[in-house]
């Protein structure tokens, strides 16, 4: 979902979370003091630039500058420069899930939990008995249950599935 807002000269924008795309919307182009004009009533062309390669300009339409960036495991900030003014774009890291104790319970249930800092994420557990199979051939074991903010859990029967490999995907 694009992130839009009205920006004035020198105003910064921060985006938090894993976002693959966004947009900055600018209003009031063409007049003196409007932020986009040159004082003569002549429109100044919108030619936004990015100062880092991971932040790319995706397009410009109707005063909206669309941008995209890839996922990251560390916080980072880049700038889109428009009409000579830098606009900060901040992307927060989404860390890979961390596995928390995979015990086999007394009733024969294999259970594992994992944490993830993306509170809006959902996860599916995949399984296979042959680790060399391509991921497309793994079986969906089911969804991981969100047991607390940022904490997920999955359980499966080991009586019918005595050996297996598991992988987590989102969504």
Could you give the CA distance from residue 144 to residue 157 in angstroms, rounded to a whole number?
14
pLDDT in tens, the chain (171 residues): 333 333 333 334 443 333 344 555 554 443 333 344 444 544 556 688 888 888 888 888 877 888 888 777 788 999 998 888 888 988 877 677 777 877 778 888 888 898 887 777 788 999 999 999 999 999 999 999 988 888 899 998 877 777 888 888 876
Q: Under a CB-based contact definition with an 8 Å cutoff, are residues 98 and 72 in contact? A: no
SS3 at position 137: helix
Instruction: Give the CATH number of domain 98-169; options: 2.40.128, 2.30.30, 2.60.40, 3.30.70.
Output: 2.60.40
Q: Under a CB-based contact definition with an 8 Å cutoff, are residues 126 and 143 in contact? A: no
Q: Where are the beta strands (DSSP E) in the chain?
A: 21-25, 49-50, 55-61, 64-69, 76-82, 85-91, 98-100, 109-115, 124-128, 139-143, 145-148, 151-157, 165-169
Domain residues of the chain, as ranges?
21-91, 98-169
SS3 at position 86: strand
């Amino acid at each position: 979902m694009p992130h839009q807002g009205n920006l004035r000269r020198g105003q910064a924008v921060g985006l938090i979370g894993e976002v693959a795309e966004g947009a900055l919307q600018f209003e009031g182009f063409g007049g003196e003091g409007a932020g986009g004009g040159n004082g003569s009533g002549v429109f100044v062309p919108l030619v936004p630039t990015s100062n880092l390669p991971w932040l790319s300009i995706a397009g410009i339409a109707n005063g909206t500058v669309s941008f995209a960036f890839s996922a990251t495991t560390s916080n980072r900030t880049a700038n889109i420069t428009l009409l000579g003014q830098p606009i900060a774009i901040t992307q927060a890291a989404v860390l890979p899930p961390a596995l928390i104790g995979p015990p086999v319970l007394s009733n024969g249930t294999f259970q594992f939990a994992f944490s993830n800092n993306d509170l809006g994420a959902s996860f599916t557990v995949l399984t296979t008995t042959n680790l060399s199979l391509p991921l497309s051939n793994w079986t969906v074991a089911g969804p991981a249950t969100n047991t607390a903010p940022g904490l997920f859990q999955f359980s499966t029967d080991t009586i019918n599935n005595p050996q297996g490999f598991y992988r987590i995907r989102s969504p």
